[in-house]
């Protein structure tokens, strides 16, 4: 689980095992919605209480500022007291772990705005799905954005493994295995295989999250949650939507 996901739990539980995370999530979800709302109190960042469409629009506008070099000055000191005991991020981001991709920068956001999970290849596994279930059900996050990027090394490794028979050491094959469906699907399309596979991986991940039962799929069906995806251009910084 990513470090940002751990911040919601007491510091007395370092390296919180996944089974304990799921117990906490289950306990939180078993409470009536009104009781959960009462326990949480007012949101620490009222401006983050948005509809799914408004949340997506805020990401797009923030990306435009990032591209233009007109990013806002974020007052982290002022935000710190309000965020010390609660959070209400307006978007969840599933991003690649690539060091050149910083979701908070790319969308010009501050602390407490984004609930970010990162893994090389930005694919969804059980841990990321569980993390976003927590964000949606407990934190009220209205948007999940799958953020792929140009020249993704994890996708390229999957292509080399499939097309050239290259083998990788350690646990790297677990990444290439997860990305194989995207490479296989992209192989049917004309054009550059890597570019197509990166886009296909975003689309397949969006579909997987939308279908994740029962929490995410129900939230999508009830129009409380939107799940979309885009690809980040390393040269321009622009995030191009590939699903909406």
The predicted structure's pLDDT at residue 26: 60
Average pLDDT, the chain: 88
pLDDT at 163 over 60: yes
Q: At what angle do helices 126-137 and 193-210 cross, to 10 degrees?
A: 50
Beta carbons within 10 angstroms of residue 73's beta carbon: 6
Q: Which residue has the higher pLDDT, 16 or 137?
A: 137
DSSP letter string, 185-205: HHTTSSS-HHHHHHHHHHHHH
Contacts of 150 (CB under 8 A, 6+ apart): 195, 198, 231, 232, 233, 234, 235
Residue 158: closest CA among 181, 174, 172, 179:
179
pLDDT digits (tens, 9 = 90+) for 22-72: 555 565 555 444 334 434 689 999 999 999 999 999 999 999 999 999 999
Which of 23-37, 158-172, 174-188 has the least mean pLDDT? 23-37
CATH code, residues 3-243: 3.40.1050.10
The predicted structure's pLDDT at residue 235: 98
pLDDT at 182 over 90: yes
- Whether pTM > 0.75 for this model: the answer is yes
pLDDT at 9 over 70: no
Instruction: Give the CA distances from residue 190 to residues 81, 83, 200, in Å, rounded to whole numbers and listed in that order.
Output: 52, 48, 13
Structure tokens at 152: 């993704």
pLDDT at 6 over 50: no
* Torsion 122-126-127-130 (CA) sign: positive
The predicted structure's pLDDT at residue 27: 56
- Residues belonging to the chain: 244
The predicted structure's pLDDT at residue 85: 92
The predicted structure's pLDDT at residue 41: 80
What are the residue ranges spanned by the domains of the chain?
3-243
Give Cα 76 distance to the centre of its chain: 22
The predicted structure's pLDDT at residue 16: 46
pLDDT digits (tens, 9 = 90+) for 89-147: 999 999 999 999 999 999 999 999 999 999 999 999 999 999 999 999 999 999 999 99
pLDDT at 176 over 90: yes
């Amino acid at each position: 689980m990513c470090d940002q996901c751990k911040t919601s739990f007491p510091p007395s539980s370092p390296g919180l095992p996944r089974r304990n995370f799921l117990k906490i999530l289950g306990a939180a979800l078993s409470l009536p919605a009104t009781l959960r709302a009462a326990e949480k109190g007012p949101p620490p960042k009222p401006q983050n209480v948005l509809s799914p469409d408004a949340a997506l629009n805020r990401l797009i506008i923030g990306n435009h500022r990032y591209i233009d070099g007109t990013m806002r000055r974020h007052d982290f000191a002022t935000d710190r007291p309000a965020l010390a005991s609660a959070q209400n991020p307006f978007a969840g981001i599933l991003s690649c772990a690539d060091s050149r991709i910083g979701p908070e920068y790319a969308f010009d956001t501050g602390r407490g705005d984004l609930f970010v999970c990162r893994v090389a290849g930005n694919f969804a596994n059980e841990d990321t799905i569980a993390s976003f279930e927590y964000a949606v059900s407990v934190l009220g996050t209205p948007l999940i954005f799958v953020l792929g990027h140009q020249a993704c090394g994890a996708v390229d490794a999957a292509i080399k493994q499939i097309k050239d028979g290259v083998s990788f050491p350690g646990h790297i094959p677990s990444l290439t295995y997860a990305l194989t469906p995207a490479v296989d699907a992209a192989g049917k399309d004309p054009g550059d295989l890597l570019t197509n596979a990166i886009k296909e991986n975003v689309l397949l991940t969006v579909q997987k999250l939308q279908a994740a039962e029962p929490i995410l799929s129900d939230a999508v069906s009830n129009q409380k949650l939107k799940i979309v995806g885009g690809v980040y251009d390393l040269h321009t910084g622009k995030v191009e939507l590939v699903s909406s």
